[in-house]
Amino acid sequence: MRASSVVPQEEKMTSKEGYIHKEGIQIQNWKKRFLAIEKTVISYYTNEYKRDKKGEIKIAAIKEVKPLSFYKNRSYVFAVVTTGRTYYIQGSDDENRQRWIDAINGVLGRSPTGNKGAVISHSTSKAHLLSEPKKVGVSDFQQLKVIGRGGFGRVLLVKKKDTGQYYAMKILKKSSIVSRGEVIHTRTEKSVLAKIDHPFLAKLYYSFQTDEYLYFIMDFINGGELFFHLSIEKKFTEDRARFYSAEIISGISYLHQHGIIYRDLKPENILLDRSGHVVMTDFGLSKEGLNSPTDRTITFCGTPEYLAPEVISGESYTKAIDWWSVGTLIFEMLTGLPPFYDQNEESMYEKIMKSDIKFPHHLSHEVVDLIQKFLIRDPQSRLQDYELIKKHPWFATINWDKLLNRDLTPPFIPAVKSSDDIGNIDKEFLEQEVDEEDDDENNSPVQPDAFGGFTFQPPVKAGN
């Protein structure tokens, strides 16, 4: 039995102030700012400590607040039009943008507009007004089978009623999330999923909520967990491990390029689709905002077998910890166990910090060299350059352009008959009732705004 992931602790949330991105007036780039609505001004600072004020918008000068369908290829932007200039501000999602607009309208003495009555400028096209999507909710899906269950809720196979498309619906009970200090974990997962678009990373189609539950609507990936297939076959050939590793490395590199550190790479979080390609899932332990190679964080979280030495020692760390996990995963795919595995967790940590790796004789010199480079304990010396990784001799047979286009034939095709095939799902889940209540012993109270900004729905492009 593997140890479960260690999760970060809860963080404090505030209202009528928070981080946004704002376009500069002189150099028209976008900077992260902490916006605070005050009595007579809207101030923006470099951070939440409000020590470095960068400017302010006088409330008396505001003429109009309006959402923009798209602005310079950015979504969720709204404009604050004043007598002197127009400020362009980007929220984190559609719901977050609307909350800012309503808050500003509130201090102006205007009624909140809501999504239906949002202030639209004359320059907003009629096509955009017609393209506002219908809000999607629970009633739009037929719930078919339980396909997974965890500490916070369950996952169902569902079918969208108007299209007949099959999806996985992840249902989380709010009170369970709050009682276990997982609000930030859940909000981060939604935030990351809403931003990413990559062939080997899970795709989010919708997220929404009711008074009791949160819902993620995602692809139904029915080829089985990588952990499931590895447990059956005990170990993979180098060709098969190389293919999975290359797709995973492509996904990790994409996350890093977008300032996201994954922090929970393991076979349980990697699914195979019906064609045999990998799909990385579960971004709750991810961390956003690490845009520079030197940006660091310090939260202790992850799965024990895959933790990098700098995490165990309590140091601040960079995105280099994900590459340690990649090396650990490659070793496990080829041997059946992580390189420093021990049933005693403290002993395992000791091995991660100090022990040499024992490589089986059947492994090629090339893969041994690659694993050794990923498992260098000094993160500054660890292999983490995507271009250098692609050029490593073990990947000599991989055409990385074809890989990214999914043009390489996977070495293993799961036994999947159709898009709703549940043959690779554990029967323990399939026998459960879809409307069975989730256990919740604590039943902690949920603040009304605890999951503000959770709703996600991709915009409908004009003409569709």
Tokens encoding 86 = 């127009």
Distance (Å, whole) CA 264 – CA 257: 17
- Distance (Å, whole) CA 374 – CA 356: 14
6 vs 56: CA distance, rounded Å: 41
Task: Name which of 154, 299, 124, 145 is nearest 222 in CA terms.
Answer: 145
- The per-residue pLDDT for 115 is 44
**Are the CB atoms for 25 and 85 separated by under 8 Å?**
yes
In CATH, what is the architecture of 134-222+418-464? Answer: 2-Layer Sandwich (3.30)
Tell me how many degrees the CA angle 24-26-29 measures, rounded to the nearest 5. Answer: 40
pLDDT at 424 (0 to 100): 84
- Catalytic residue, chosen from 264, 273, 282, 322, is 264
DSSP-derived 3-state class of residue 220: coil
Q: What gap in Å lies between CA 327 and CA 76, rounded to an integer?
A: 38
CATH label, 226-404, candidates 1.20.1260.60, 3.30.930.10, 1.10.510.10, 3.40.50.300: 1.10.510.10
Distance CA 257, CA 297 (A): 16
Sequence letter at residue 176? S
Neighbours of 215 (CB within 10 A): 22
- For 265, counting Cβ atoms within 10 Å of its Cβ (0-12 exposed, 13-18 middle, 19+ buried), the class is buried
The answer to whether 17-130 and 134-222+418-464 have equal CATH topology is: no
How many Cα neighbours within 13 Å face the side chain of 7? 18
pLDDT of residue 460: 57
User: From first to last of its 464 residues, what are the pLDDT tens digits of the chain?
Assistant: 566 666 554 333 334 688 888 887 555 578 888 888 887 889 888 887 777 788 888 888 898 898 987 676 677 889 898 887 888 898 888 888 888 888 888 888 776 554 443 433 334 443 443 445 678 999 999 999 999 887 678 999 999 999 999 999 999 999 889 888 888 889 889 999 999 999 999 999 999 999 889 999 999 999 999 999 999 999 999 999 999 999 999 999 999 999 999 999 999 999 999 999 999 999 989 999 999 888 999 989 899 999 999 999 999 999 999 999 999 999 999 999 999 999 999 999 999 999 999 999 999 999 999 999 999 999 999 999 999 999 999 999 999 999 999 999 999 999 999 989 988 887 888 888 887 665 555 556 677 678 888 888 876 544 44
- Distances in whole angstroms, Cα of residue 230 to Cα of each of 237, 424, 447: 11, 13, 42
Rounded CA-CA distance 267/332 in Å is 9
Q: Which residues have C-beta within 8 Å of that of residue 161, sequence separation ≥ 6?
A: 140, 141, 142
**Catalytic residue at 264?**
yes
No. of helices (H) and no. of strands (E), the chain: 13, 14
Please give the backbone phi and psi of residue 438, each rounded to the nearest 5 degrees, phi first: -80, 140
Query: Which CATH number, 2.30.29.30, 1.10.10.10, 3.10.129.10, 3.40.50.300, labels domain 17-130?
Result: 2.30.29.30
Q: Specify the pLDDT at position 237.
A: 97
pLDDT for the residue numbered 464: 46
| Res 381: pLDDT | 97
Domain range list for the chain: 17-130, 134-222+418-464, 226-404
Predicted local confidence at residue 439, as pLDDT: 55
pTM: 0.71
Sheet containing 62-68: give its strands across. Answer: 53-58, 41-45, 30-37, 17-23, 86-90, 77-82, 62-68
